[in-house]
Structure 1
Amino acid sequence: MAGNSLKWVYLIVLSLIWGSSFILIKKGLIGLTPVQLGAIRIIFTAFFLFIVGFKRIKTIKLREWKWVILTGLLGTFFPAFFFAFAETEIDSSVASILNSLVPLNTIVLGFVVFKIKSTKRQVLGVFIGLTGTLLLVLNGASVNPNQNYLFVAFIIAATLMYAASVNILKRYLQHVNALTIAVGNFAAIVVPALLILAFSGFFKAEALAAPTLKPALLYMLILSLFGTAIAKVMFNKLVHIATPVFASSVTYLMPIIAVFWGILDGERFEFIQGIAALVILLGVYLAHKRK
């Protein structure tokens, strides 16, 4: 298949995989607590990555480990729990749209913390994106008065952590193979995840006997295998055969898939929320548009 056609295949498949991850989290929470879900997601993904790349750990230099550990905590560990807690109160479709703040937060943190210069267009994109976020949250709170929209703070915190991780990767680990970084990340966080799971009550007899446990574990298995392990490899391949700008456009398609799954699952999604989502994506587009 020609490279131009193949990149579109990768883009569509990645959008389907990552756009479906939010509904998988929601379904997993039916049989797991947020703490258990976050821990199991990390453990399952570590298992898959170790199968294909465990030997790569020894190639990580001692001076690089602090950045590998930090990006593992910020880019995977804490967000895995934060998104789980957020979706106990917030619809999966709303969570997916707010996840689109990652590119905007990357620019903000790059400027504030890492002193990476921003253009006027990027600054405008950030303000437009934040306006859309405010509109989405306020409208969502009125449409779903039974949901606690203060839990949006978990998602915003997670997107800030993702953004910090991206900036650290770009500055300190750009020379390290992507699979090597991923394996190192999970080598650093899998033991804390195992300890958290052990103290979460997961291994109690009544928890293991719950009829909702097996479906929840199946959802986490799918999310870990496809949403993290396979998707990471596919995204790296997409970056190789296409431009970074094209690869980042997966951000625009993910919410469409997530909203579709949310509506099928009975979530309410109003016209104003759709407008707010478009405003956020417009901000992301302006922030990443080439001159």
Structure 2
Amino acid sequence: MNKSAIAVCAFLGVIWGSNFIFVKMAAAFISPLQITLLRVLFGFIPVLIYAVFTGAMRREHCKHAHHFLVMSLLATALYYFAFAEGTALLDSSIAGMLGGAIPLFTFLCAWLFLRSERLTRLKTLGIGLGFLGIIVVAKPWSAQGGIDPKGIIYMILGSLSVGCSFVYAKRFISPLGLPPVALVTYQIGIALGLLTIVTPLHGIGAVFDDTRAWVGLVFGLGLLGNGAAYLAYYFIVDAVGALAASAVTYIPPVIALLIGFLLGEPVTASAWFAIAIILAGVALVQLSGNQGAGRPAAKGI
């Protein structure tokens, strides 16, 4: 991997890893659905500008609008909403750790819906380790009730949604040969339209009463976390391939855990153990076969 690709991987890891604390800050002022709407809005702006500048969009792409609709739901609207709900209910460090399990759900979806994926012993071990890590995070045996189970469920649903989006993209989007930038633009744009319809706007301006909250939402989650990160991710895929690009998934949960620790969240020894075995599980699944072959879905964390 060349120096440019390494630098972009580091950028993505830091940006996606810090997304959870930005969601947490914004959740003190507006609802998770409103956070999702604003995140998608400000993420759409740089992507649209880049797509127009490069001439990636074509009128003939409209015939694939049904595929873009599915991707907008799985890889953007439902995914971000579930993660926003989960992060609002959990410590940002815990939410970030659970976000690191996305590749496990991606493989499970691929195994269920794609005939080309086989469940080997190594992958089975990896999935088992990953879910063991989730159990350690959730601590169902604890009588203190420190972890909100609804938050855990929302994070799992978000990971499952984006996992399904990768499978859908591999089966229906990759064969179309569309420019990645065009796909991202259609996907985010449709998601923005859907979210605008269903999101109550009353009180949404409250987030702009707090400088840290709106700066994190607009720049951290939107312009960087969605817009710039999408474009950077496809740079990595084009430069080193999908399998090597998947290495970036190891960075965000560690960054999220460190940020939570530095901000005073209760990061215990069991949390470090949990993130270690989740990432070990992800590594086993990824190293035992390239489930990311083909054009990936547009994603963020």
Would you say same fold, with TM above 0.5? yes
In the alignment, structure 1 residue 218 sits paired with structure 2 residue 215: yes
Given that residues 30 and 207 in structure 2 are in contact (C-alpha distance below 8 angstroms), is that contact kept between their aligned partners in structure 1? no
| Structure 1 match to 2:178 | 176
Q: Which runs of 5+ in 2 are unaligned?
A: 290-301
Distance 1:144 1:244, change over 3 A: farther
Q: Is the 8 A contact 1:45 1:224 kept in 2?
A: yes
For residue 186 of structure 1, the aligned residue among 180, 185, 188 is 188
| Deviation, structure 1 residue 143 | 9.4
User: Structure 1 residues 285, 89: CA separation in 2 closer, same or farther (over 3 Å shift)?
Assistant: same
Checking the alignment, whether the CA contact within 8 Å between 1:40 and 1:193 is kept in structure 2 is no
Say if 2:102 and 2:163, in contact at 8 Å, map to a contact too: yes
Tell me, what secondary structure is at the counterpart of 2:23?
A: helix
Q: How far off is 1:187 after superposition?
A: 2.2
Once the two structures are TM-superposed, the CA of residue 71 in structure 1 deviates from its matched residue by: 0.9
For residues 97-136 of structure 1, the aligned pairs below 5 Å read 97-118=97-118, 119-136=120-137
Matches of 1:179 and 1:51, distance apart in 2: 10
Match of 2:242 among 226, 241, 244: 244
Q: 1:81 is aligned with what amino acid?
A: F
SS of the residue aligned with 1:220? helix
Higher mean C-alpha displacement, 18-27 vs 50-59? 50-59
Aligned-pair CA distance for 1:266? 1.5
2:269 corresponds to 1:267: no
Question: 1:132 touches 1:276 (CA, 8 Å); kept in 2?
Answer: yes
Shift of 1:162: 0.4
Give CA-to-partner distance per residue, 1:88-138, whole Å, 9 cap, x none. Answer: 221111111111221111111111123332233222211121111111211
Q: Distance in 1 between matches of 2:26 and 2:242?
A: 32
TM-score (norm 1): 0.89
Give the AA of the match of 1:202: G
Q: Which amino acid aligns with 1:108?
A: L
1:217 partner amino acid: W
| 2:233 matched residue in structure 1 | 235
Aligned to 1:39: 37
Q: Deviations over 1:32-69 (max 9, x none)?
A: 22121111111222223222225644345344221111
Which aligned pairs between 1:161-172 and structure 2 lie closer than 5 A? 161-172=161-172
- The residue type equivalent to 2:37 in the other structure is A
* Aligned 8 A contact 2:122 2:288 in 1: no
User: How far is the alpha carbon of 1:210 from its aligned partner?
Assistant: 7.3
| Aligned match of 1:73 | 73
Alpha carbons of 1:147 and 1:57: their partners in 2 closer, same or farther (altered >3 Å)? Answer: same
Q: Which region of structure 1 is more displaced relative to structure 2, 34-43 or 49-58?
A: 49-58
- For the residue of structure 1 that corresponds to 2:203, the secondary structure is coil
Please tell me whether the aligned partners of residues 32 and 216 of structure 1 are also in contact (alpha carbons under 8 angstroms). Answer: no
Mean Cα deviation higher: 153-162 or 143-152: 143-152
The alpha-carbon distance between structure 1 residues 211 and 152, as it changes in their structure 2 partners (threshold 3 A), is same
Q: Point out where structure 1 has 5 or more consecutive residues left out of the alignment.
A: none
**Matching of residue 7 in structure 1 with residue 9 in structure 2:** no
- The amino acid across from 2:12 in the alignment is L
**CA shift digits 1:178-216 (9 cap, x unpaired):** 11111011221212222334x34136xxx559733x543
Q: Distance in 1 between matches of 2:70 and 2:19?
A: 24
TM-score by length of structure 2 reads 0.86
Alignment partners' CA distance in 1, 2:286 and 2:60? 31
Q: CA deviation at 1:232?
A: 1.1
Letter in 1 for 2:25: K
Aligned residues: 283
